[in-house]
Amino acid sequence: MMIRFTAQAAGADEYPEDEVLSAGVSETPAGEGVILIFQCCTYEPDDQDIALGMDTYCVVTEDQGTAYGAVRELTLRNNVLRVAFDPDDLEALGLAEPEVEVTLDVDEESIEQLRQGLRQILSYGRADARPYVLDL
């Protein structure tokens, strides 16, 4: 089985004051309903990040479920985003299924902004936490 939803909002933003790059999708334009947010720091991981296993990107869901390096595969083709998560991270993310498919009901500019943000975020940090398949 797979979790499916239509996203009414998508994009990527950098928050310099928080030192975070964020890209995500939400079921509503107000950022409610089902959400997936992908984040990474805008600085290189330090010794503390490495010791805590936070030396990679993270994924956050609508209930604030959070996991680091949890994406096994991610594809974004046309207006469909597919994400396969590591089954070991489902509980931390609060997800019942390891695969999520999102139909992006947004303009091309938002999709391109999401694509560029995901490229940068999912290549952040240690190589062994990066998705096996990344097709953007």
Which pTM does this prediction carry? Answer: 0.93
Which DSSP symbol is given to 125?
Answer: B
Per-residue pLDDT, 18: 80
pLDDT of residue 32: 86
- Say how many CA atoms lie within 13 Å of 12 toward its Cβ: 19
* DSSP SS3 for 77: strand
Q: How many Å apart are CA 30 and CA 48, to the nearest integer?
A: 34
How far is it, in rounded angstroms, from Cα 11 to Cα 17? 19
In the chain, which residues have pLDDT < 70?
Answer: 1
State phi, psi for 118 to the nearest 5 degrees: -65, -40
